[in-house]
Amino acid sequence: MYRLPLHRKEAIILTAVEVINDLGIQGLSTREIAKRQGISEGTIFKHFRTKNELMLSILDHYSQYDADIIESIKLKDLRPIEAVNYFINAYAEYYQNYYAEYYQNYPQITAITQAYDVLSHDPQLTEKIKGIFMSRYEFLEAMIAEAQKSGEISRSIDSEKLAGIIWGSFSMACLKWRLSGYGFELRDYIITTLETILKAFRLLK
């Protein structure tokens, strides 16, 4: 499955994501990770002192491209409507072709998105989950608000609500993709859905 050798800590994180994908959060254990890695549980604890420390590292890994995606949008100086498209497309590609340098395809990362609610019940993880979610959501909302100011999108809908519609459809697409056994092109589905949503609120010029 691996294409290039990984640092042990990185390999543990990726294997943990696989376990969450296969067995759910409740099935994540150092024993299962160790078995899949062919290492001792002690080796895992050399890198992560607790299971929650491992989970925080998984969330860091999951959100590692967030700042880069936002920075890329700023550097490209895109129009607001283009920024919305770029933002959603970036995550669609990330989830469909996660860690392509090491894997041919790695859709298991979407398991983290679907586990938001369960993870948020842990006090130590709540702030991390909230930070990731709100950072993405607020940036999307800000771009929609800018698109409304520039006359690209109608003001007939609140920018926060439209961001919710777009992000909600994105999450639904990921869940549908997982339930179908990754039976369709996630990126194409997400982008065509986004185009349909934006078309409904886009102002003609």
CATH of the domain at 31: 1.10.10.60
What H or E segment, with its residue span, contains residue 103?
Answer: none
Confidence class of residue 203 from pLDDT cuts 50, 70 and 90? confident
Question: Is 3 domain-assigned?
Answer: no
CA distances to 26, 49, 58, 127, 204 from 98, in Å = 23, 27, 14, 24, 36
Residues 69 and 40 in one domain: no
How far apart CA 31 and CA 21 sit, in angstroms, is 16
Residues 111 and 189 in one domain: yes
Which residues constitute the domain of residue 31? 8-59
**Selection from 154, 165, 155, 159 nearest residue 203 by Cα:** 154
pLDDT tens digits, one per residue of 110-164: 888 888 888 888 888 999 999 999 999 999 999 999 999 999 999 999 999 999 9
Structure tokens at 175: 């869940």
Structure tokens at 94: 């990330």
Residues 43 and 68 in one domain: no
pTM recorded for the entire structure: 0.86
pLDDT tens digits, one per residue of 96-125: 775 444 333 557 888 888 888 888 888 889
pLDDT beyond 70 at 89: yes
